[in-house]
Amino acid sequence: MDQTDVGENMSKRTEQKSQAREKAAALAATQARAERRRRVLIAISAVVVVLVVIGGLVAVRLAGGGKKDEAAGPSGTADTNLISTLASIPAATFATVGSDGVQAAPAAITAPALTDGGKPKVLYIGAEFCPYCAAERWPVTVALSRFGTFSNLGTTHSAAADVFPNTATLSFHGSTFTSQYLAFTGVETTTNEQVNGQYAPLDTPTAEDQKTFDTFNQPPYVKSGGSIPFIDLGGKFVGSGATYTPEVLAGKTQTEIADALKDPANPIAKAVLGSANVYTAAICQLTNNQPAAVCSTDVVKTAAGKLGKS
């Protein structure tokens, strides 16, 4: 082999080695890019999993299923069993509870008749965050259920950050009341959840209902002005604040509260049904004592003596 052939062979081997190094470098670069993609995909998957978990927790919270609210029961639409229980309390249970234990009651006022569609009107103004409203919706609902039928009643609880936190209750937001004897308007001005430090708005009273609130929710008609819940019964009676302490409902769900009303010896029944008897007596004065099966009972006649003077 002459000198020229040796040189050519060396040149070829050098070129082959160079090509091999280039291929190895290209392969390493491809593998590096694949590894980076794999790591990015893993990171993205982890973020997605976290977001799904957070979304699930938020959904549970909004549905009222968080542990914090379990004691208060769910928020949503009241089930038929709950509504049925409130509307079917035996007359004997009302009679046994009576009204002797009632410490506060609506006061009689002199004012134009409050009506709607030619019927006497009961106006309730409250808010879902308010624990005193939470307590008072129970006797108001029970009393009205003796004169008509509710549909689309809600369930909610008072604010977690207020006194008597998470008091289980109903909500009049979005509900309707049907009766041949009277009309009912239930206004829930805010929710029980804060947005930017304020409870989120819910229902807005009509101009007439707001005027009724502003006029009669102050002395001399009520002891202290501006309190909620406020209730006007046909322009004949008004009440402001709860008729019993929300403490009696502490730790109970809506179902447990409703079930307690079946036992006249239960403190919840004594508080709720006692106040309901007084509200019933006031409503009977709006309906000309109709229906007679309710208004002619001794317990209702006795409860009328609890209605105060403004």
Say yes or no: 87 and 107 in one domain: yes
Q: CB of 151 within 8 A of CB of 176? A: yes
CA 84 to chain centre: 19
CA 118 to chain centre: 31
SS3 state at 304: helix
Give me the domain span that covers residue 242.
70-309
Q: Which helix (H) or strand (E) holds 192?
A: strand 190-195
Say yes or no: 289 and 266 in one domain: yes
Say yes or no: 248 and 280 in one domain: yes
Say yes or no: 26 and 163 in one domain: no
The per-residue pLDDT for 54 is 38
d(CA 278, CA 11): 112
Among residues 62, 82, 109, the one where a domain terminates is 62
246's CB contacts (< 8 A; 6+ apart) are 131, 132, 134, 135, 158, 163, 164, 167
Q: Residue 44 pLDDT more than 50?
A: no
**Is residue 193 classed exposed, middle or buried when 0-12, 13-18 and 19+ CB atoms within 10 A define those classes?**
middle
Say yes or no: 223 and 282 in one domain: yes
Q: Which helix (H) or strand (E) holds 14?
A: helix 3-62
Say yes or no: 82 and 24 in one domain: no
Q: CB of 116 within 8 A of CB of 233? A: no
Q: Residue 32 pLDDT more than 60?
A: no
Residue of higher predicted confidence among 141 and 64? 141
Q: Specify the number of domains making up the chain.
A: 2
Rg (C-alpha) for the chain, rounded Å, is 34
Average pLDDT on 116-145 reads: 98
Position 74, amino acid: P
Say yes or no: 124 and 209 in one domain: yes
In the chain, the percentage of residues whose pLDDT exceeds 90 is: 72
Say yes or no: 99 and 53 in one domain: no
pLDDT in tens, 196-226: 999 999 999 999 999 999 999 999 999 888 8
Residue 193 is classified by DSSP as E
pLDDT band at 48 (very low <50, low <70, confident <90, very high): very low
Residue of higher predicted confidence among 68 and 137? 137
Say yes or no: 42 and 75 in one domain: no
pLDDT in tens, 165-186: 999 999 999 999 999 999 999 9
The per-residue pLDDT for 103 is 86
Say yes or no: 55 and 86 in one domain: no
Report how far apart, in Å, the C-alpha atoms of 299 and of each of 20, 145, 243 are. Answer: 104, 17, 18
CA 203 to chain centre: 13
Exposed e or buried b per residue across 231-270, where buried means at least 16 C-beta atoms within 10 angstroms of its C-beta: bbbbbbbbbbbbbbebebbeebbbbebbbbbeebebebbb
SS3 state at 306: helix
Say yes or no: 16 and 96 in one domain: no
Say yes or no: 17 and 165 in one domain: no
149 DSSP β-pair partners:
178
Of 155, 100, 108, residue with least CA distance to 285:
108
Among residues 62, 94, 110, the one where a domain terminates is 62
Among residues 14, 35, 62, the one where a domain terminates is 62
